Amino acid sequence: MMNLKNEKKIKHKLELISMYFDVDEFIANDMFYLEDALNTRNLDLIKKVDGILQKFKNEIKEVGVYEFILNITRKHTQTFIKN
């Protein structure tokens, strides 16, 4: 479990991510924050991740982006697939 300070930082990052989708930023940084949020096991953060994935699922599923994400994500690939 992460400490509260890290969870607050992750929550702030998730709020920024949810504002807009930039493919380069998503691949370089955002998806790692999503994975960190999932690793916290904090239900509020997990719900935020789900909301982000739902909001930007069309952009995420674009040819090339989706495949790249699947290659990079290890532990939570199933979360990306189901959304």
* Single-letter code of the amino acid located at 83: N
pLDDT of residue 73: 64
- Domain coordinates in residue numbering, the chain: 4-82
pLDDT of residue 15: 94
Q: 3 in the Ramachandran plot: left (φ > 0), alpha (ψ -120 to 50) or beta?
A: beta
- The 3-class secondary structure across the chain, one letter per residue, is CCCHHHHHHHHHHHHHHCCCCCHHHHHHHHHHHHHHHHHHCCHHHHHHHHHHHHHCHHHHCCCCHHHHHHHHCCCCHHHHHHC
pLDDT of residue 18: 92
Residues 5-62 have pLDDT tens digits of 888 999 999 999 999 888 888 888 888 898 889 888 899 999 999 999 899 989 888 8
**pTM of the predicted protein model:** 0.75
